[in-house]
Amino acid sequence: MTHQDTRAAAQADHHDDIIYPHVIPFLAAHLACFAAIWSGVTWQAATLGVGLYWLGMFGVTGGYHRYFSHRSYKTSRVFQFLLAWIAQATAQKSVLWWAAKHRHHHLFSDTDRDIHSPRHKGFLYSHVGWIFDRKNNDTELVKIADFAKFPELRLLHRFELAPAVVLAVVCYLIAGWSGLFVGFFWSTIAVYHATFCINSLAHVHGYKTYVTGDDSRNNWILAFFTMGEGWHNNHHAYQSSVRQGFRWWQIDFTYYVLLGLAKLGLVHDMKSPPEMVLRNEHKLGARVINKAAADVVATFNVEQIAARVNSALAHLPHASDLRVKLADAQHRVADVLASFQLPHVPTREEVSAKAAGMLARTPSIDDVIDRAHALLLEKVGQRVCAGA
């Protein structure tokens, strides 16, 4: 079997279907919330639910995210296990699975390889559907090898629902059926969707302070209900920061809790963003520049521009020279096209105006514009050659 045949067979075997058996307990947990009509809502259960919401949210933000995914601070092995237990008590799978998927997200944020990008997969899929997609079921331990080496975390990975089951039993023992349905299920479902909103809403609604090459946004409402995670554009600008509210008025409850834990000696070596980042004066990396430039280029209709250029070339005496040079240029298509003063081809100034209207302030704006202009000319040149 040839390489092409093998690849075709692999594509044929791949399905983007949903693992329906995994959806059943998820839906059942939602339906269990309605059992409160039968059990009633006691003040003990309501208090328990509110407390567990904030504890569970800290497990997600301070545990799953800032510690296991980004290692934004250090702690002891004992407290590390406690963080993992609290995080998994929210029933969002194991810390190894969660962190591995999140690291993958940052590698390919809002590209077609992102596992939950609203830009490419739609809002509902990015909010919850991706969790049940067959191709996301496995844990890429190579992405989380730094934590997979701990046997106690691998044990939690194997029995990922154990902390949630224990918590559900404790809720029942404390406040009866109301404690189970209101205290446990209401808080668990609330933490679910607050967490999921960061993958969906925080890439759709809000504002951008930093150029990050993706759709991450800051949203103060999400920041309040997710203990600081809503400052999502800040986070994508400097991922390893323990603090995501970069300004004094950007409330970040997770950071405040971690400061308290640091006072108690439970956590240490908390990473902070450099002053250059806080002042938005840092230079962007090549990967971010390329992604931002590609976003600017995507606002131009390359096919239409190339069609107009081809139409104009039909009446120009040097058209054949241009096509020959473009065909021979390969990686220098943009340079060749720029050397010919052609109508309908956007100038650098036009690209600059487009970038200014869609990108946040950055010292690297000229680099983004230059890359976007070159990329646009390259795409147009390729299509002009194809249309010869």
74 in helix, strand or coil?
Answer: strand
Residue 325's pLDDT is 57
Query: What burial class does residue 142 get, using C-beta atoms within 10 Å of its C-beta: 0-12 exposed, 13-18 middle, 19+ buried?
Result: exposed
283-340 pLDDT tens trace: 999 999 999 999 999 999 988 887 877 776 666 555 566 556 555 555 555 555 555 5
**Confidence tier at 267 by pLDDT (50, 70, 90):** very high
Mean pLDDT is lowest, of 18-22, 68-72, 89-93, 284-288, for 18-22
For the cut 70, the answer to whether the pLDDT of residue 87 exceeds it is: yes
Query: What mean pLDDT is reported for the chain?
Result: 89
- CA 26/CA 205 separation, integer angstroms: 26
By mean pLDDT, which of 4-8, 22-26, 350-354 is the weakest? 4-8
Show the tokens assigned to 125: 């899929």
Residues 196-245: tens digit of each pLDDT: 999 999 999 999 999 999 999 999 999 999 999 999 999 999 999 999 99
Return the pLDDT at 214. 96
> Using CA atoms in the order 166, 168, 171, 177, what is the torsion angle rounded to 10 degrees?
-140
218: three-class secondary structure by DSSP: strand
- pLDDT, one tens digit per residue, over 122-173 is 999 999 999 988 889 999 999 999 999 999 999 999 999 999 999 999 999 9
Q: Which two tokens stand for residue 340?
A: 């010919």
Share of the chain above pLDDT 70, in %: 85
Query: Is residue 1's pLDDT more than 50?
Result: no
Q: Residue 252: is its pLDDT beyond 50?
A: yes
Confidence of residue 14 (pLDDT cuts 50, 70, 90): very low
| pLDDT tens-digit map of 90-106 | 999 999 999 999 999 99
What are the CB-based long-range contacts (under 8 Å, 24+) for 48-52? Answer: 48/171, 48/174, 48/175, 48/179, 48/182, 48/183, 48/184, 48/187, 49/182, 49/183, 49/184, 49/186, 49/187, 50/187, 52/167, 52/171, 52/183, 52/184, 52/187, 52/188
Higher pLDDT, 2 or 311: 311
The pLDDT, as a whole number, for residue 373 is 85
Residue 166 contacts residue 180 (beta carbons within 8 Å): no
pLDDT at 134: 86
